Amino acid sequence: MKVQTLPPTDGNYNLQDYEEAKQNFDWSEIEKQFSWHETGKVNMAYEAIDRHAENPDKQNQVALHYLDGSRKEEYTFADMKKYTNKAANVMKEAGIQKGDRVFIFMSRSPELYFALLGAIKVGAIVGPLFEAFMEGAVRDRLEDSEAKALVTTPQLVERVPFDDLPNLETVFIHGGVDDEKGGFLDFDARLQQAGSDFEPEWVDREDGLILHYTSGSTGKPKGVYHVHNAMIQHYQTAKWVLDLKDGDVYWCTADPGWVTGTSYGIFGPWLAGVTNVVRGGRFSAQDWYDTLDRYNVSVWYSAPTAFRMLMSAGDELMKDYDLSSLRHILSVGEPLNPEVVRWGEKAFNLRIHDTWWMTETGAMMICNYPAMTIKAGSMGKPIPGVYGAIVDDQGNELPPNRMGNLAIKPTWPSMMRAIWNRKEKFDSYFELNGWYVSGDSAYMDEDGYFWFQGRVDDVIMTAGERVGPFEVESKLVEHPAVGEAGVIGKPDPVRGEIIKAFVALREGYEPSDELKEEIQSFVKKELAGHVAPKEIEFRKSLPKTRSGKIMRRVLKAWELDLPTGDLSTMED
Ligand code: WT7
């Protein structure tokens, strides 16, 4: 593989600091940042909000800039303390206690953040649900977790199958409910009346914080269970990788229904005490550039799919906005194509920093941190305190440049503590000699950089060669006509598998046989003959998760006429 090496950035840390940090690293040093280091008792919401609200230098700083089509509001750390206290009082009065599961099923609004942090203040375990979930997906999650309470809206409550959920005792409605009809509680009215003082429930570091449901390639979604202790890593990666410091305005574009939207849309930035921007509503290139400009965003965490959409919207549009406040851009969730890194360089004069982690790992694990030399296309290196490796199917570490299972040596502070109610599922992550096995395949080069190749199930074997679909997809999107591409292995009697590409064309291009051939020879020419797709199928759009990942297993199921499995995370 050809590698483009970019010169180092001049961040505030130099590489030496990281390399030294790695040598004698001890996570227990990091927790000295927090008051619970002395008391032994902790609450995430206290550390993220109240601590700053009690600090005269911080209390009047804006903690949350909220913006959508109809609301534009700002809340200082003192305001956030007040409203999360009120939310905690509302929950406590309704009988919610430590350890109860409180689900939050609503689109982004300031009240979502009050409710989520308020629930944490009473010691509950929060379960955020993405607004687009339909009835079956809602049922699976509330049933599995035996949720006791739910905060939702008049529109979304229609999708809650109450008859199937005997444990669900309390339902709060944000956004209007007449006279608490039908036993629904009016969250907004109660919030207004509630007292603004609240003593957080002090819990143990190993007590439950959050449940994020995530899909595997088979079976029902799994409840990934995280505890308060995760804050050590949220905080440290917010410092080291997001590079957050006093004065920063930070924007994470992810919805809190996904782990990025909580670990780095709530916990990381507020533990670090910076101003956090939340933009509600759907993606629009104009709105996004406007958000960067309006708030003078300095650090921006987003995803390849969003960058590709901005890229497709064209550079002309950008000229209407002043984006000069940006100093650091990061990406997560799926492979960051070298093409996108190069676009970022041109468009923002900044390198987009890729980060790798998973719902299960709770926080960033393998990253391009600010001082590092970026190799475009690589996810970077394990952060200090994390030991990553490539192992074979027996759990033996492989030497550099060999493709295998991306694995991490347990454990780290933000590691999941369980899969809710499914011990055997949890244990199955550690079957290879005790390594945490990610399910991703990758290789590590001689400099210790990790290169993503695909989910293990996605790896294509063609004519005896292992081919990672990402490499082919990345090349395909470099062709001027190609907007997005998904690549799968299609069974073939001669070659084992052949490579088939599903392609969505950019605006202004029409499908044709000539275009197919042109794209095929482009990949052949640029990459290699054996990785050029033998078949190309044009589609209006590709099946993607709501977090933007191309769902290759769905493409494969379509191709082979197989059942598509769990589609609850698929974008409509
Ligand atoms: C899977 C985890 C945690 C953030 C959101 C995704 C893929 C994640 C990268 C990256 C290539 C990536 C992996 C991983 N992934 N980051 N930088 N490059 N692939 O969380 O839904 O739990 O998915 O996302 O396949 O295993 P998730």
Cβ distance 338 to 4 under 8 Å? yes
Question: Who's near 431: CB < 8 A, 6+ residues apart?
Answer: 437
- pLDDT band of residue 9 (cuts 50, 70, 90) is very low
Distances (CA, A) of 450 to 76, 388, 447, 465: 40, 9, 9, 20
- Taking only the tens place, the pLDDT of each residue in 374-400 is 898 999 999 999 999 999 999 999 999
Nearest CA-CA partner of 142 in 417, 425, 424, 420: 420
DSSP E strands, 157-257: 170-173, 185-186, 208-214, 222-227, 249-252
- Taking only the tens place, the pLDDT of each residue in 18-49 is 777 777 788 988 888 888 888 889 999 999 99
Pocket test for ligand 1, best of 224, 416, 549, 568 (most atoms within 8 A of CB): 549
Residue with the nearest Cα to atom 5 of ligand 1? Answer: 333
Residue with the nearest Cα to atom 24 of ligand 1? Answer: 333
Looking at 164-178, 303-317, 463-477, which range is the least confident one?
A: 463-477
pLDDT at residue 572 in the model: 66
Pocket test for ligand 1, best of 340, 451, 452, 550 (most atoms within 8 A of CB): 452
pLDDT at residue 15 in the model: 67
Helix, coil or strand: residue 44 = helix
Confidence check: pLDDT of 13 > 60: no
pLDDT at residue 5 in the model: 34
Task: Report the nearest atom of ligand 1 relative to the CA of 470.
Answer: 11
Domain spans, the chain: 5-442, 465-560
* Tokens of residue 208, six digits: 């439950």
| CA 530 – CA 544 distance, rounded (Å) | 26
Which is more confident, 315 or 66?
66
Nearest CA-CA partner of 220 in 455, 570, 572, 568: 568
- Tell me the CA–centroid distance for residue 356 and ligand 1, in Å: 6
Nearest CA-CA partner of 126 in 92, 107, 154, 98: 98
Question: Who's near 48: CB < 8 A, 6+ residues apart?
Answer: 117, 231, 266, 267, 270, 271
Which is more confident, 143 or 28?
143
- Tell me the CA–centroid distance for residue 335 and ligand 1, in Å: 8
Confidence check: pLDDT of 371 > 90: no
- Taking only the tens place, the pLDDT of each residue in 260-301 is 999 999 999 999 999 999 999 988 999 999 999 999 999 999
Residue with the nearest Cα to atom 23 of ligand 1? Answer: 358
Distances (CA, A) of 177 to 84, 158, 174, 188: 21, 13, 8, 9
- Tell me the CA–centroid distance for residue 252 and ligand 1, in Å: 16
Cβ distance 355 to 366 under 8 Å? yes
Altogether, the residues listed in the chain come to a count of 572
- pLDDT band of residue 427 (cuts 50, 70, 90) is very high
The answer to whether domain 5-442 and domain 465-560 are alike in fold is: no
Task: Report the nearest atom of ligand 1 relative to the CA of 254.
Answer: 5
pLDDT at residue 4 in the model: 29
CB-hemisphere CA count at 13 Å for 530?
12
Looking at 153-157, 401-405, 503-507, 559-563, which range is the least confident one?
A: 559-563
What is this model's ipTM? 0.99
Return the axis-axis angle of helices 338-348 and 304-313, rounded to nearest 10°.
60
Residues with CB under 6 Å of ligand 1 are 214, 259-260, 332-335, 354-359, 379, 438-440, 452, 455, 547
Nearest CA-CA partner of 363 in 327, 318, 408, 322: 408
Q: Looking at the domain covering 465-560, what would its CATH class be?
A: alpha beta
pLDDT at residue 38 in the model: 85
pLDDT at residue 128 in the model: 98
Cα angle 413-415-420, degrees, rounded to a multiple of 5 = 135
- pLDDT band of residue 479 (cuts 50, 70, 90) is very high
- Taking only the tens place, the pLDDT of each residue in 200-254 is 999 999 999 999 998 654 457 899 999 999 999 999 999 989 999 999 999 999 9
Query: What mean pLDDT do residues 462-466 have?
Result: 70
| CA 390 – CA 120 distance, rounded (Å) | 37
Looking at 74-78, 207-211, 489-493, which range is the least confident one?
A: 489-493
Query: What mean pLDDT do residues 436-442 have?
Result: 94
* Tokens of residue 24, six digits: 């004698």
pLDDT at residue 324 in the model: 95
| CA 555 – CA 179 distance, rounded (Å) | 48
Looking at 8-12, 33-37, 161-165, which range is the least confident one?
A: 8-12
In this structure, what are the phi and psi dihedrals at residue 268, rounded to the nearest 5 degrees?
Answer: -55, -55
Query: What mean pLDDT do residues 499-518 have?
Result: 96
pLDDT at residue 217 in the model: 45
Which is more confident, 493 or 206?
206
- pLDDT band of residue 464 (cuts 50, 70, 90) is low
Cβ distance 128 to 116 under 8 Å? yes
What CATH number was assigned to the domain covering residues 5-442? Answer: 3.40.50.12780
| CA 279 – CA 282 distance, rounded (Å) | 9
Residue 509: alpha-carbon gap to chain centroid: 32
Task: Report the nearest atom of ligand 1 relative to the CA of 359.
Answer: 22
pLDDT at residue 63 in the model: 98
| CA 112 – CA 104 distance, rounded (Å) | 7
- Taking only the tens place, the pLDDT of each residue in 301-349 is 999 888 988 998 888 999 999 999 999 999 998 888 888 999 999 999 9
Pocket test for ligand 1, best of 354, 356, 544 (most atoms within 8 A of CB): 356
Task: Report the nearest atom of ligand 1 relative to the CA of 360.
Answer: 22
Q: To the nearest whole percent, how much of the chain has pLDDT over 90? A: 72
Pocket test for ligand 1, best of 214, 267, 332, 544 (most atoms within 8 A of CB): 332
Cβ distance 217 to 565 under 8 Å? yes
Distances (CA, A) of 107 to 71, 111, 383: 13, 10, 33
Confidence check: pLDDT of 495 > 80: no
